Amino acid sequence: MKAIAGCLVVTAGLFVAPAAAGAGERVTDAALGGLAGAVVFGPVGLVAGGVIGYTAGPNIACKIGAKRCYRHRARYDRRR
């Protein structure tokens, strides 16, 4: 069972690695999502959390104020 989970994690890492190489801070979002998923659901949560962190991480960070969203600032400046 551990060997299957290990193979799944390595395969998922190889699948995401080329896209993450040019993504900048998405790598951090994927790592944090994977860590949180692994704590809650184990190896399956690691993969699922990594995928969710990679795809939705920048949007989540923007909404909670963890990073600046320049696109939103430009939209608000036009209204004034």
What is the tens place of the pLDDT at every residue in 5-48?
Answer: 776 777 777 666 655 454 567 888 888 888 888 889 888 998 99
Band (80; pLDDT cuts 50, 70, 90): low
Band (53; pLDDT cuts 50, 70, 90): confident
pLDDT at position 48, please? 92
Read off φ and ψ for residue 66, nearest 5 degrees: -75, -20
pLDDT at position 59, please? 83
**pTM of the shown model:** 0.54
* CA-to-CA dists, residue 18 to 2, 12, 75, angstroms: 25, 11, 33
Give the pair of three-digit tokens for residue 62. 């923007």
* 32 and 53 Cβ atoms separated by less than 8 Å: yes
| Residue-range domain boundaries for the chain | 2-79
d(CA 28, CA 14): 16
SS3 80: coil
Q: Is the pLDDT of residue 57 over 70?
A: yes
* 31 and 58 Cβ atoms separated by less than 8 Å: no
